[in-house]
Amino acid sequence: MAERDSLRGKVAVVGAADTAVGKVPQFSATGLCVDAARRALADAGIGKQQVDGLVTCNAFAEPYMYHAEAIAEYLQIDPRYCVTAVAGGGTTFSILQNAAAAIAAGVCETVLVTMADSLRSGLTREQAMLIQSSTGHPEFEIPYGPTVPAFYALIAQAHMHRYGTTPEQLAAVAVSGRKHAMRNPHAQMREPIEIADVLASRMIADPLHLLDCSLVSDGGAAVVLTSAERAGDHPHAPVYLLGFGEGHSHEHISQARSLTTSAAVESGRRAYRMAGLGPADMDLAWIYDCFTPVVLIELEDLGFCAKGEAGAFVAEGHTGLGGQLPMNTNGGLLSYCHPGNPGSLFGLTEAVFQLRHQAGERQVGGAETALVHGQGGIMSSHATVILGREAQ
């Protein structure tokens, strides 16, 4: 009971914003981080001097040794709680639990989480390739030459071998995200695609085609967190943090105990337990979609499908508007944007817009609860957050 009640409903998101995404050459990575911060503060109806907690993540295009302190310096604020979160796609959601705990413990009152990078405009092709090729284990992986897509192709092949998943079912994930992006005027990619288009796109690492792979983007996003007691002091309806969970299984994919079951099992179970909810209670989900097979594994491990059934689940249209589980309604990393480490933060802002009922053409009718999930490394570190319109 103590775990369930520890943070459930005690902290709310009261401000959320995205910058422009895609190719945004007029801003550096730092400029995007600050722009996201200013937008989120305006959305929360507060000034920067009301912020006494700051969380950022480092940027590949413009790194700092002390990134959060550098952004605080740029903003000219002096936070009591100041954290540069570690790199990786799960960072955004795992750090939320720490920030919420800081608020609940009285360390600070108002935390600004702002993250950005400019992978598209701020890196040369050579720099980008170096990042892609330096991820693996220095002894057991890098000498064999795989890049990040090749690691995920290995995971895709394992799922296909074990469960009979087809390339068409992988492609259905990309098509689902694009259909949502077509309703989002801010998405980087909005042109319609079909299964055949995905399969006809350039092969990157068998079986992954170009359209099975997430975008390379500039962009930033930010949220403002405060206590449930203070949440009513802001202009928008608060969105409450109901459950958190993390799961960590390995650092390098060559050391993974399974290629088809991830630590999302543990992160989801812990988040559901704290929230007192289950998969059937979720009105929508944002699932980390750096590559199409990741989505299938995470849907299964988070309890939305039995193992081996996620390919058919997506192909049958259950992740579209009006479906059983509308998913990645902003377009996701495959069609909205993916600026690297900050990528999953766009899932949190989208969930906030959905639960405020502010998502326009892509709005999920009557949305009351949402699950957002991120993963870092090569299916290494997983973090799940459950949100709701009510504090329960």
- For the annotated catalytic residues, the residue numbers are 288, 336
Classify 24 as helix, strand or coil: coil
Dihedral (CA of 301, 306, 310, 313) sign: negative
- The residues near 373 (Cβ < 8 Å, ≥ 6 apart) are 93, 264, 267, 268, 285, 286, 287, 288, 298, 302, 344, 347, 382, 383, 384, 385
In Å, what is the CA distance from 58 to each residue of 86, 91, 105, 376? Answer: 8, 11, 26, 14
Classify 184 as helix, strand or coil: coil
Residue with tokens 């992006």: 181
In Å, what is the CA distance from 340 to each residue of 55, 168, 236, 268, 346? Answer: 16, 26, 29, 23, 11
Query: Which residues, listed in sequence order, are joined to residue 54 by a DSSP beta bridge?
Result: 82, 112
Dihedral (CA of 60, 224, 269, 362) sign: negative
Q: What is the rounded CA–CA span in Å between residue 385 and residue 353?
A: 15
Task: Specify burial of residue 345 (Cβ count, 10 A radius: 0-12, 13-18, 19+).
Answer: buried
In Å, what is the CA distance from 12 to each residue of 93, 100, 187, 199, 230? Answer: 14, 9, 26, 42, 9
- The residues near 325 (Cβ < 8 Å, ≥ 6 apart) are 282, 284, 285, 304, 318, 319
Dihedral (CA of 17, 183, 299, 261) sign: negative
Q: Please work out, in degrees rounded to the nearest 5, the angle formed at the alpha carbon of residue 153 by the alpha carbons of 151 and 157.
A: 125
Q: Are 311 and 169 in contact (CB under 8 A)?
A: yes
